[in-house]
Amino acid sequence: MYTPVEQSLPLDCSNYTNRNLFAEHFLSHPQRLRAMEEWKQDKGWEKAFERIGHLYRKHAVRFNSHTNEAQTEKDFICPVLDVLWGDGCYQVQVNIPNVEGRRQPDYAFFRSPEERRQADTRKGSLEYWRGVPALGDAKAWETSLDRQSSTGENPSAQICNYLYRSRVRWGILTNGRQWRLYERDKSSAGGIYYEINLADLLQRGEDKPSESFKYFYLFFRREAFVPDPKGLSFVERVFAESAEYATEVGNRLKDSVYDALRHLINGFLSHPANRLEAKDPATVRLAHDNSLILLYRLLFILYAEDRGILPCEAPQ
């Protein structure tokens, strides 16, 4: 558990999309993610923002639908990876033996240049991937990460297949604009990932980075996959603590539901205009059943609003 920190306003979460990979409230709660040592102590994110912002203004700001995958990688994705990982900590175009030859991940990421050199002797075998903390795949600038391409490939499904075949736990998928993080087991269900729209962050044209940039930097850099003294990396700790937090919230919600149900029943029974006999078992059962219906309808509406399914804005 993390040491509580002083209460502050929730973070601006408009530049990340969390598709159930982590607990949403863990990411947005000021006393959870912000309380982690990486969030509080790391100073490299400001320099990274400057360097990546320079790359964007120099190259990517002019990218369009005619920019192909090779150009996107050469002019933006690989230079960004050099900032995040260092040019000695990833290998390009390494085959997974049980994947069709023309379909292979673009990157194998390593925690150090030495680990990459050691893995070179195992190229061509599944053993090569055993020490790889993350693999990556790149697409052209305006390629959809969800829709099937003309070649019949769905990028999101493709990287999940790479994770399954290689048994690597984490996957990074990007077209330069959007950066996604996948986890092998949880993401196998489809549509489960954590995404940052880097282009939106950089298009703001800010001279100094806002803390929103940390949602990109802390999750996609090399250090995010390096184990701490207890053997867990940053992304693994966020994943584990997020699941624990979701369980805690679920337990609290369950208790709150029972409390709410009790208050609703007592309210129906005690309201004089209802003229209900609180000591009659049949009446109590009727109040219970209808209170349960009302409660679940309220929960459905609140859930739908939270997920953006229902309009929450005030009418103009």
Task: State pLDDT tens for residues 99-143.
Answer: 776 679 999 999 999 999 999 999 989 999 999 999 999 999 999
pLDDT at 87: 83
Q: Looking at residue 208, what is its pLDDT?
A: 73
Given CA atoms 300, 301, 302, 308 in this order, what sign does their dihedral have? positive
Q: Quick check: 209 pLDDT over 90?
A: no
Kindly provide the b/e burial profile for residues 296-309, where b requires at least 16 CB atoms within 10 angstroms of the residue's own CB.
Answer: eeeeeeeeeeeeee
Would you state the pLDDT for residue 7?
34
pLDDT over 90 percentage in the chain: 55
95-to-92, 161, 169, 278 alpha-carbon distances in Å: 9, 13, 17, 71
Q: What is the pTM of this model?
A: 0.78
Q: pLDDT tens digit string along 236-265? A: 999 998 887 656 666 666 667 778 888 888
Distance of CA 200 to the CA centre of its chain: 16
Q: How far is CA 227 from CA 138, 179, 223, 230, 237, in A?
A: 25, 22, 8, 7, 10
pLDDT band at 150 (very low <50, low <70, confident <90, very high): low
**CB contact at 8 A, 178 and 206:** no
Give the torsion through C-alpha atoms of 307, 32, 195, 12, to 10 deg.
70
Distance between CA 220 and CA 19 in Å, rounded?
16
Say what the pLDDT of residue 73 is: 97
**306 vs 213: which has the higher pLDDT:** 213
Helix, strand, or coil (residue 172): strand
pLDDT of 6 = 32
d(CA 186, CA 246): 15
Residues 298, 290: contact at Cβ < 8 Å?
A: no
d(CA 139, CA 148): 12
Q: Tell me, what DSSP letter sits at residue 10?
A: P
Region of poorest pLDDT, from 56-60, 105-109, 145-149, 230-234: 145-149
Contact 184, 163 (CB under 8 A): yes
| Beta-bridge mates of residue 18 | 194
d(CA 228, CA 219): 15
Angle between helices 234-270 and 281-306 (to 10 degrees): 140
The β-bridge partners of 179 are: 174, 196
Task: Count CA atoms within 13 Å of residue 302 on its CB side.
Answer: 7
* pLDDT, averaged across the chain: 86
Residue 10 in this model has a pLDDT that exceeds 50: no
pLDDT value of residue 315: 56
User: Could you tell me the two tokens for 74?
Assistant: 């050469």
Contact between 205 and 199 under an 8 Å Cβ cutoff? The reply is no
pLDDT of residue 245: 64
- The pLDDT assigned to 75 comes to 97
The reported pLDDT for the residue numbered 3 is 34
Residue 198 token pair: 């880097």
What pLDDT band is residue 2 in, cutting at 50, 70 and 90?
very low
Q: What is the pLDDT of residue 149?
A: 74
**pLDDT tens string 43-55:** 789 999 999 999 9
Residue 65 pLDDT more than 50?
Answer: yes
pLDDT at 299: 79
The full length of the chain comes to 316
